[in-house]
Amino acid sequence: MAKPKVLLEELSYPGPHQVSLGNLALVGLPGMVFTPRAGLGLPAVAFGHGWMQPPRRYAGLLRHLASWGIVAVAPATQTGPLPSHRAFAADLRTALRLVAHVRLGPSGISVDPEKLGLAGHSTGGGAAVLAAASGSGDPVRAVATIAPAQTMPSASEAARSVTVPGMHLAVEGDLVAPPIGHAYAIANAWAGPVQLRELEKSSHLAVTEGFHWTQLFLQGKPQRATQKLVYALFTAFFLAELTGEDKYRALVDAGVKRARIEFEHSPTAELTK
């Protein structure tokens, strides 16, 4: 079995698939969808953007997932200063339903409705938790977040009913979504198997890319080192949980530099911290 360090290096680079970019609006919802150029029965992940962040700021992450064989979709809704988190959660569910039940692209890419995941950054992470807890639509198999933020209704309360595996990446020193009241609260309430990591030498907006005017008042800016780390961890987690690719579970289970595991638990085990 490959060592976690080797897997981290491998998954921080694009995968073997060529990637196509599509317009989600063509199937009924504004947003972007990244797919491998070919494939049937693929896994899919719906990604929620952060507060006032356009989905294009996550294009690198979405493209990266698609290069490793995962259809990645990002609704471009609720981007204003007063978003409805409940409505955004519903949009994430709608996005999954759309890609799971229509053929995508000229080559007819298809998604397996039994291999669906949710992900998000900041309030988009909180909305992903709400979507996972809603119980409507096709079953979601895994949830991953980066710098997740509380929502209205409460993401940590919703986490009490989420029984699928979760991985939450908190940002050490995050001034927008401090880990204790946000990522830690969500992870502590998680009903299923869960892991919480804390990213060092990072910031709230580190996973985004390009310039956006919200950087004038939100903490941080794009950081390539953080992006590569998140790309690798998200890819390993979703390949392991959605496709059963055990090769990458060694990375999911391992502590890595700048992303130490703060705690993890399962429904039958106590928290280690």
Which CATH number characterizes residue 242's domain?
3.40.50.1820
272 assigned to some structural domain: no
Domain membership of residue 238 as a residue range: 4-265
pLDDT at 25: 84
Alpha helices in the chain (DSSP H): 4-11, 59-67, 85-101, 123-134, 155-159, 183-189, 224-243, 249-252
In a domain, 160, yes or no: yes
Instruction: Write out 27-86 in H/E/C secondary structure.
Output: HCCCEEEEEECCCCCEEEEEEECCCCCCHHHHHHHHHHHHHCCCEEEEECCCCCCCCCHH
- pLDDT at position 269 is 45
- Residue 24 belongs to some domain of the structure: yes
Please give the tally of structural domains in the chain. Answer: 1
* 270 part of a folded domain: no
Give residue 266's pLDDT. 80
Looking at residue 87, its pLDDT comes to 97
Q: Is residue 273 part of a domain?
A: no
In the numeric block, the tokens 């892991």 are attached to 195
Query: Which residues of the chain fall short of a pLDDT of 50?
Result: 269-273
The values of phi and psi at residue 168, to 5°, are -120, 125
Identify whether 29 is part of a domain.
yes
94 part of a folded domain:
yes
Per residue in 225-266, pLDDT tens? 999 999 999 999 999 999 998 999 999 999 999 999 999 988
pLDDT value for 268 = 53
For residue 90, being part of any structural domain is answered with yes
Cα dihedral value 149, 244, 35, 112, nearest 10:
-100
